A = this chain, B = another copy of it.
Amino acid sequence: MDITVLIGVVLGFGMMVYGIMSGSGDFATFIDIPSLVITVGGAISSAITANKKNVVFGIVKVIMGAIKEPKIDYVGTLRTLVSFSEKARREGLLSLEANIEEIQDPYFKKAIQLVVDGTEPEVLRNMMEIEIDMATAEMMDQKAFFDSLGTFGPAFGMIGTLVGLIQMLKSLNNPEALGPSMAVALITTLYGSILANIVGIPVAEKIAKRAADLEVFKRMILEGIISIQAGENPRVLEEKLKSYLPSQERTKYEAQVQGAGA
């Protein structure tokens, strides 16, 4: 569960509720099922047209993925890589076979498996880089769905408002009904803005940032694996890989290593 997505979306809707309550407080005014259907339904329709089949038919997985935080354990992974490096120097690369089962991260696991299988370094790097590119591309496909909500939400909001306005203007015989009709017409624009700005755009950005983080994380693993395969000094490997760590993680890592060494 990604706590920031949860907090952000709940807080965003909370602001709406507060906004309504601080005004007339009449919630019923803001609930209009047909408006909801047009705006959300329309946005989803065009999102279906715009996105890949596997995203469309796997939409539940995509949404679940959006609220799940990927596991990125810089400190633990770096420590494991250092220990693997030491072990490989002492007992040979094949000795790592015994450790494959304890690795959680599938990317890490695959890379170690390839090392144990005796894959050539260049082939290993090539394969694992394609893995990174494909994983990033898959996340970008998921991001694209939320981008669609960000684009088509307001678009269908405006379409709904135009439909409402045209109907209202066509039958302008009753000036008294003007205000309320226009209020209803504007609700689709409101829904579209909410869909885009509380869900679509921010979630799409979050996914893009996660993909970037995962790419760095996997690149660190890949450099570590290649270093292990080349039989480099574990201290050099450690120093090299620490460059990939965000500053907070670096402090944490050093504290842990300090603690372990004491």
Contact = CB atoms under 8 A, between A and B. Distances in A.
A84 interface: no
Interface of A: 2-5, 7-9, 11-12, 14-16, 18-20, 22-24, 26, 29-30, 34, 37-38, 41-42, 44-54, 56, 58, 69, 114, 119, 123, 126-128, 130-131, 134, 137-138, 141, 144, 148, 151-152, 155-156, 158-160, 162-172, 178-180, 182-183, 186-187, 189-190, 193-194, 196-198, 201-203, 205-206, 209, 212-213, 216, 236, 239-240, 243-248
Contacts of A29: 166-167, 170
Contact of A23 (B119, B137, B164, B180): B164
A53 B170 CA distance: 42
Contacts of A34: 18-19, 22-23
A56 B159 contact: no
Nearest to A162: B190
A169 B163 contact: no
Given A30-B163, A162-B190, 19 more contacts: A4-B49, A5-B49, A11-B41, A11-B44, A19-B163, A20-B167, A26-B170, A29-B166, A49-B203, A51-B206, A51-B209, A123-B236, A127-B243, A131-B243, A134-B245, A155-B197, A169-B179, A169-B186, A170-B179
* A-B complex: 4 closest residue pairs judged by Cβ atoms: A8-B49, A172-B179, A49-B202, A22-B34
A152 B14 CA distance: 15
